[in-house]
Amino acid sequence: MVFTLKKQIMENNRDGFSGKFGVIAAAAGSAIGLGNIWRFPYILGENGGAAFLLVYLLFIFVMGVPVMLSEFVIGRKAQSNIIGAFKKTAPGKPWYIIGIMGIGAAFMILSFYSVVAGWTLEYAFLALKNNFAGKDIVEIKTIYDNLTAGSWNSVIIMILFLAITALIVSFGIQKGIERYSKILMPMLFIIIVLLCIRSITLAGASDGLNFLFKPDFGKLTTNAILQALGQAFFSLSLGMGVMATYGSYIKKSESLGKTAISVSLTDTCIAVLAGVAIFPAVFAFGIEQGEGPGLVFVTLPAIFNQMFGGYFFAVSFFILLIIAALTSAISLLEVVVAYFSEELKLNRIAATWIATGATIMPAIICAKYGAVFNFFDKTSSNVLLPLGGLLIVIFAGWFMGLNKVRKELEADGRPARYFKVFIFIIRFLAPIAIALVFLNSLGLMNAGNF
Ligand code: PFF
């Protein structure tokens, strides 16, 4: 007992997660969010379906998992926030710029993410008032269009969402994050499975399943590949220090490899299920697959309308989706707060409210102007996160020292049998692949296709 306590003080006197489920639940809480249920289906719909899905899965497992592992290693080794981590591990070197980029990306993502979370909040209210009942697709679409066409309503609920996020973050890691993720995500999972069952039993559903699972590689454009890469990073919360920050809270006795795999598998499972819930319905109701950010907000109420117990499931679903969005937004804010409080020596509560205050203005602009929203959405996912990921794997693979990396991976006392493959990926495969996707898409950006 005394020994454990001493060890704990020696290795980490920062706030930490209690036990295995706490870590996985919190990291999965960051990963699972609007990215899986709102962004994944809309990006997949815009990029042709099954072929996109295959490339996405490839990116998740060949690049996402190793990048996540690299972040965990960097964070847990340094026991620090994302900028401090690089300053500690590579003193006097400019690697901390990765951290600065990460903080910038966190602000950018939080700005548009809060807007979508606000829409979800509004949808929960509408579902509670039974406002979707009996409405056809055109009427449901009008509700979405009115809400998102720069209305002040969407600004107010976005601010409400941000305030809730800030309140939770100011409570601190253990109480704030862990408590909320553990019980609620399995409930969300169950409702998504029920949605899938309803969706695939609709008349005309098979076209949606074909769209999702029968690849047509002719549809796989360079742009689609870039979007798949960006979506993989976005969905797993990679490339900006969230996972490094969480890694710094993981106890030495936990296996980083297993954590990375469990988080990635759970996240991917939810995204694919969201696709199975959405696309059969999209085809059955004659909705445009390339509808864009409104895709799920138009499709879901229509499915609930056709479902036994639709009222109950709609209300529960939107509330759980808000909670999924909250645990992700918390992680975004946490990156900034960990930095403000540790490096700038602010107290946690001040750090939280300053960071939240700084997000409000860009978030209002995102809520009011669709073009800014799109720019933030696409630039953060397709440029900043993969660029951050590229630098992170180069840092872990080439500059941290292989012995240190191995020691951190094996700190739980078990051998990391995957070590050679992991190093090959982070040294060669991932950097080259990310660079190639970038180079390819540079032409696209010029052509205004981005
Ligand atoms: N992964 C989250 C989602 O899928 O909703 C969004 C996100 C959180 C992206 C944290 C990036 C991040 F650092």
Query: How far apart are the CA of 242 and the centre of ligand 1, in A?
Result: 9
- pLDDT tier at 36 (50, 70, 90 boundaries)? very high
Helix ranges restricted to H, 62-204: 65-78, 82-89, 97-128, 137-148, 152-171, 173, 179-200
In a domain, residue 417? The reply is yes
Share of the chain above pLDDT 70, in %: 91
Contacts of 424 (CB under 8 A, 6+ apart): none
Residue nearest to atom 10 of ligand 1 (CA): 237
C-alpha 426/C-alpha 70 separation (Å) is 8
Mean pLDDT, residues 216-239: 94
Ligand 1 atom closest to residue 242's alpha carbon, by position in its atom list: 13
Look at residue 7 and tell me whether its pLDDT is greater than 70. no
Look at residue 146 and tell me whether its pLDDT is greater than 50. yes
pLDDT of residue 69: 97
Full DSSP string of 304-319: HHTSTTHHHHHHHHHH
C-alpha 136/C-alpha 185 separation (Å) is 30
pLDDT of residue 11: 40
Look at residue 260 and tell me whether its pLDDT is greater than 60. yes
C-alpha 88/C-alpha 66 separation (Å) is 22
Say which CATH number the domain at 117 has: 1.10.4160.10
Mean pLDDT, residues 104-110: 95
Contacts of 120 (CB under 8 A, 6+ apart): 34, 38, 318, 321, 322, 325
pTM metric for this prediction: 0.92
Mean pLDDT, residues 182-198: 89
Query: How far apart are the CA of 28 and the centre of ligand 1, in A?
Result: 10
Query: How far apart are the CA of 264 and the centre of ligand 1, in A?
Result: 12
In a domain, residue 425? The reply is yes
Tell me, using a 6 A CB cutoff, whether residue 240 lines ligand 1: yes
Average pLDDT along the chain: 89
Tokens of 147: 């809400």
* Choice between 181 and 56, residue whose per-residue pLDDT is larger: 56
Tell me, using a 6 A CB cutoff, whether residue 109 lines ligand 1: yes
DSSP H helix total and E strand total for the chain: 24, 0
Stretch among 1-5, 85-89, 122-126, 156-160 having the lowest mean pLDDT: 1-5
Ligand 1 atom closest to residue 243's alpha carbon, by position in its atom list: 13
In a domain, residue 11? The reply is no
pLDDT of residue 439: 84
C-alpha 393/C-alpha 29 separation (Å) is 23
How many residues in the chain?
A: 450
In tens, the pLDDT along 354-409 reads 999 999 999 999 999 999 999 999 999 999 999 999 999 999 999 999 999 999 99
Residue nearest to atom 7 of ligand 1 (CA): 237
Query: How far apart are the CA of 10 and the centre of ligand 1, in A?
Result: 32
Residue nearest to atom 13 of ligand 1 (CA): 237
Ligand 1 atom closest to residue 267's alpha carbon, by position in its atom list: 4
Query: How far apart are the CA of 35 and the centre of ligand 1, in A?
Result: 6
Query: How far apart are the CA of 395 and the centre of ligand 1, in A?
Result: 22
Mutation choice for ligand 1 from 30, 37, 242, CB with most ligand atoms inside 8 A: 30
State how many domains the chain has.
1
pLDDT of residue 443: 65
Tell me, using a 6 A CB cutoff, whether residue 331 lines ligand 1: yes
Tell me, using a 6 A CB cutoff, whether residue 234 lines ligand 1: yes
Stretch among 42-51, 138-147, 183-192 having the lowest mean pLDDT: 183-192
In a domain, residue 9? The reply is no
Ligand 1 atom closest to residue 31's alpha carbon, by position in its atom list: 1
pLDDT of residue 16: 59
pLDDT of residue 432: 95
Amino acid at 202: L
Query: How far apart are the CA of 235 and the centre of ligand 1, in A?
Result: 5
Element (H, E) at 230: helix 222-235
The end-to-end CA distance of the chain, in Å, is 57
Query: How far apart are the CA of 228 and the centre of ligand 1, in A?
Result: 15
What residue numbers bound the domain in which 298 lies? 21-247+255-441
pLDDT of residue 2: 32
In tens, the pLDDT along 45-102 reads 999 999 999 999 999 999 999 999 999 999 999 988 788 889 888 899 999 999 899 9
In tens, the pLDDT along 285-316 reads 999 999 999 999 999 999 999 999 999 999 99
Mean pLDDT, residues 22-43: 90
In a domain, residue 178? The reply is yes
Mean pLDDT, residues 123-143: 96
Amino acid at 432: I
Query: How far apart are the CA of 328 and the centre of ligand 1, in A?
Result: 6
Cβ proximity of 372 and 378 under 8 Å: no
- pLDDT tier at 275 (50, 70, 90 boundaries)? very high
Ligand 1 atom closest to residue 335's alpha carbon, by position in its atom list: 13
- pLDDT tier at 337 (50, 70, 90 boundaries)? confident
Query: How far apart are the CA of 60 and the centre of ligand 1, in A?
Result: 14
C-alpha 353/C-alpha 246 separation (Å) is 20
* Choice between 444 and 251, residue whose per-residue pLDDT is larger: 251
> Quick one: 209 exposed, middle or buried, by C-beta within 10 A (0-12, 13-18, 19+)?
middle
Residue nearest to atom 11 of ligand 1 (CA): 237
Tell me, using a 6 A CB cutoff, whether residue 271 lines ligand 1: no
Query: How far apart are the CA of 234 and the centre of ligand 1, in A?
Result: 5
Tell me, using a 6 A CB cutoff, whether residue 70 lines ligand 1: no
DSSP letter (8 states) at residue 218: G
Of 116, 59, 47, 32, give the one whose Cα is nearest residue 279. Answer: 47
Share of the chain above pLDDT 90, in %: 72
In a domain, residue 3? The reply is no
